[in-house]
Structure 1
Amino acid sequence: MNATTAPTSATTAATKEEDSTTTSFSSLHPDIIEAHILPRLDGPTLAATSCSSTTLHQLSSQDHLWSKKCHSTWPSTRSPRVCHVISTYPGGGPRNFFAHAFPLLEEDHSSSKLSRSSPSAPPPSELISAVDIHYKEKLIFSKVQETETVTGWFRCSPFRIDLLEPKDVIPTPIELPDGDDTCTVIFNDMTLSWILIDPIGRLAVNLSSHKPVTVQRHWLTGEVQVSFASILAAARGHVQCEIVVTCGVSEEGEMMQMREISLAIEDMDGMHRNGKECLGILQRAMGGKKGKGRNRVEEGQRMYKEYLEMKKERRERKVRTERTLDILCVAFGVSCFVGFLCFIFFR
């Protein structure tokens, strides 16, 4: 009798303990959850938490919570101009802005569809760039820059946005390691976010791969060129949106200094697109589907490698076509020469 009763009592006690554990979080006061727990979560975790229950959805959807999350993730968004865009962002304010600006862009548009379609909204008269660079999770550069897009000079010239003047030098905490490990250190520890915003249409997209896709050091000057990229669908294939950060060696020779931070768009033939073409490409990117944001580093590397493969195949196909044309031209020339000789000797 006692042997039968003992396990039952133990099971009941374990069940009660399990119930108290599972209900402990829901029994917390909402103010505690909102003030002390939710602010500690990162953006993707906070978004996942909002799907757990109705109460958590209500608490996790507060505008002030997502505004703080935007500002902590991208310090450049504290700018009054960007704050206004975030607060009035359609579809959910700061929460929807974060959902658009955090993940990479998905490649879900074929070039054939894009060639027949065009953005329904008029092109933006201005673009806002909110840029943040971190090294070892510490902010080393943050800037907001406004770029007008209505002048003929912008629309006809190659698209390019420079954040630094030619003589500007930004010191960084990047120390030069012993040996040739500078590129490896920067590749592993530097992250960049470049959010491009249409302030009129209230659209935004992050054009960076978050971590570098390539890091190269010049053998003579010692300058390090760090490249971030995103691959965008265009009417004729794909284009590469490349962000380049050029770092030089300080006069003391111990630290790195940022001397160039620029954004440009080039096609698969290595030609830079003009401003008018790029506005259409960027409009489609802003209105396109965004990824989940969890594996953006891996996705960025994968998309970049696939783009390089497409460029290689395109280049090889172009070489084969040119070689075939050369052979045809030579054959045509030889046949004309033989025909001319026959005409001379057999007339």
Structure 2
Amino acid sequence: MCVMVPTPLDTNRSAHRLTLSTYLSLFSQHRSPSDGSLRPQPPSTTVDENPSASISAVHPDIIQAHILTRLDGPTLASAACTSSQLHSLASDHRLWSNVCHSTWPSTAAPRLRHLISSFPDGAFSFFSDSFPLLANLDSSSAAAADHHDRPSELISAVDIYHGEKLIFSKVVETETVSGWFMCSPFRVDLLDPKDVVPTSVKYPEADTCRNLGEELRLSWILIDPAGRRAMNLSSHTAVSVQRHWLSGEVHARFASILPGEKGSASEYVQLGIVVTCRVGSEGGELQVREVSLQVEDMDGMHLNGKESLVILQKGLEGRKGRKGRREEEGRRRYEEYLERKRERKEKKMRTEGTLDTLCVTFGVLGFLLFWLFVLCR
């Protein structure tokens, strides 16, 4: 989904005008011309196609307090592109702060509130960075960032929903400058091995795997506090759900695909998020046992902190806001990545098979030449 930046002003967007004028006409129909109070009337079946007339009929305070506050982030951004008046009203920092906190409850943490307000355009900049899926970057033109520009700290703001119900929310800070981080496989764990997060969601165990894939929604926002940048690493919905044959735990995978070093195993890498759940023994309630992030190349190897940091910085600096439904787009990119991975594996097996054949051929040839030399001597 494309988040549109509210800068002046494309007044030819008829879809935006129609949506907003519907809101405005409903408020105009219920407003008394004498005192401005609301009065019940049967809904009208007609919509005023002239947005300027509808806007002029409604006080700006009503628009801001009773209309714009009811819009989600993408609709609010679209509304800001319809007129200069709505652009001004929709640019209010409090509106976008409320949108961020309602979309991602983890952003209500005190440090994140302060950090979001320091972004170039405040909460709007944060939303436009964090809401869209990461766009596919060109691996041939994505240059490695300078070491001095790499973030010294990363903040993860994670929210997990089951349907419309929030079941997990946490903020984790990760330092990125120590030798241990640089050399060890990159991994961010939100829960300790013995921690379990109980939920009130009840599941029949037989349907856990199928239903989790349909109901779980995850957002993993990675923030560079020094650079005032953010990106969402999640595919929004799970790209795969599997049940472990022995433990019965269900592993839901969310992923984003980013380019790395061209011509190598990390030409495309997977930012893989795994959520491990199981049904508790008492009452059949769902439990969250693991939420983790790792970076994996096309050979299935996990990148270390130094290599992962280069990939993550490219994502932070990359373009965002590609159109399309997030669920379908995320799953499509993951399937394309699996296809590239399969093709690479087949190519590697063919190459190894050819090398094995050559080795056997040269071995047999050497053996024959040796005995020919012995017999003819």
TM-score normalized by the length of structure 1: 0.90
Equivalents in 2 of 1:303, 1:219: separation in Å? 27
Alignment-derived partner of residue 234 in structure 2: 208
The reply to whether residue 108 of structure 1 matches residue 122 of structure 2 is no
Alignment-derived partner of residue 174 in structure 2: 147
CA contact (8 A) 1:239 1:266 kept: yes
Equivalents in 1 of 2:343, 2:85: separation in Å? 53
Equivalents in 1 of 2:284, 2:323: separation in Å? 36
Number of residues of Structure 1 aligned to a counterpart in Structure 2: 327
216, 229, 249: which one aligns with 2:279: 249
319, 340, 350: which one aligns with 1:310: 340
The reply to whether residue 177 of structure 1 matches residue 177 of structure 2 is no
The reply to whether residue 138 of structure 1 matches residue 165 of structure 2 is yes
Shift of 1:174: 2.9
CA contact (8 A) 1:44 1:293 kept: no
Alignment-derived partner of residue 245 in structure 2: 219
Letter in 2 for 1:76: S
Equivalents in 1 of 2:247, 2:171: separation in Å? 30
Letter in 1 for 2:149: P
Task: Indicate the SS of the match to 2:81.
Answer: coil
Equivalents in 2 of 1:20, 1:343: separation in Å? 97
279, 296, 319: which one aligns with 2:349: 319
Percent sequence identity over aligned pairs: 58
| Alignment RMSD (CA, Å) | 1.7
Alignment-derived partner of residue 159 in structure 1: 186
Alignment-derived partner of residue 4 in structure 1: none
Equivalents in 1 of 2:283, 2:309: separation in Å? 41
Gaps of 5+ in 2: 1-45
Equivalents in 2 of 1:149, 1:57: separation in Å? 39
The reply to whether residue 235 of structure 1 matches residue 261 of structure 2 is yes
Letter in 1 for 2:154: L
Equivalents in 2 of 1:20, 1:293: separation in Å? 26
The reply to whether residue 98 of structure 1 matches residue 127 of structure 2 is yes
**Correspondence 1:54-69 to 2 at 5 A:** 54-69=84-99
CA contact (8 A) 1:119 1:283 kept: no
Equivalents in 1 of 2:138, 2:164: separation in Å? 34
Task: Indicate the SS of the match to 2:355.
Answer: helix
CA contact (8 A) 2:280 2:287 kept: yes
CA contact (8 A) 1:132 1:139 kept: yes
Alignment-derived partner of residue 295 in structure 2: 265
The reply to whether residue 122 of structure 1 matches residue 149 of structure 2 is yes
CA contact (8 A) 1:246 1:261 kept: yes
CA contact (8 A) 2:240 2:254 kept: yes
Alignment-derived partner of residue 6 in structure 1: none
Equivalents in 2 of 1:220, 1:325: separation in Å? 39
Gaps of 5+ in 1: 1-16
CA contact (8 A) 2:135 2:322 kept: no
Equivalents in 2 of 1:253, 1:326: separation in Å? 57
Equivalents in 2 of 1:18, 1:77: separation in Å? 37
Shift of 1:121: 5.3
Shift of 1:256: 1.7
Letter in 1 for 2:123: P
TM-score normalized by the length of structure 2: 0.83
The reply to whether residue 190 of structure 1 matches residue 213 of structure 2 is no
Alpha carbons of 1:205 and 1:338: their partners in 2 closer, same or farther (altered >3 Å)?
Answer: same
Shift of 1:293: 6.0
